[in-house]
Amino acid sequence: MIDDHDLGRFVAAQADTYADAIDILRRGAMCTPYMDFIFPRLTREEMPSPYALESLDEAAAYLASPALGNRYRECVETLFRLVRTTARDVFGDTDAGKLHASLTLFAEASNEVLLRSVLATWFDNRVDEDTIVRINRY
């Protein structure tokens, strides 16, 4: 399989950590070191990351990857079980912002009902404006 977007970097990062990350998330928390490769976002010049995505196409390829897409959806589905909490309760202020940016990116890349539903539930149906601005620059 050709990996035009080097998505293997995510597969490698998640190999030894995904089980722990989903377990922590199911208990109503998230581990900050896992955020970048579990809930990736668009690249930011001021804060480069080896796990930043470059475009909507790369986000769509991430979701199309059997391993990565299924894991992302599993994490997002887990958020529905935490409806009595808020993004800030589970992720803290900084990581809640990262989650918002990630959900916005992937919702724009796929228009999946699941992703739009989490934006509606956890972020009052608002997208992350900074992510939308950066998407429109490409």
- On whether residue 86 sits in a domain, the answer given is yes
- With beta carbons less than 8 A apart as the criterion, state whether 109 and 127 touch: no
- On whether residue 3 sits in a domain, the answer given is no
User: How many domains is the chain built from?
Assistant: 1
- On whether residue 54 sits in a domain, the answer given is yes
CATH number at residue 81: 1.25.40.380
Q: Note the pLDDT tens digit of each residue in 102-125.
A: 999 999 999 899 999 999 999 999
- On whether residue 1 sits in a domain, the answer given is no
What's the mean pLDDT when you consider all of the chain? 92
Query: What residues make up the domain containing 63?
Result: 8-137
pLDDT in tens, the chain (138 residues): 556 889 999 999 999 999 999 999 999 999 899 999 999 999 876 667 889 999 999 999 999 999 999 999 999 999 988 988 999 999 999 999 999 999 999 999 998 999 999 999 999 999 999 999 999 886
- On whether residue 120 sits in a domain, the answer given is yes
- Long-range contacts for 77-85 (Cβ within 8 Å, ≥24 apart)? 77/114, 78/22, 78/25, 78/26, 79/25, 79/118, 79/121, 79/122, 80/117, 80/118, 80/121, 81/26, 82/28, 83/121, 85/28
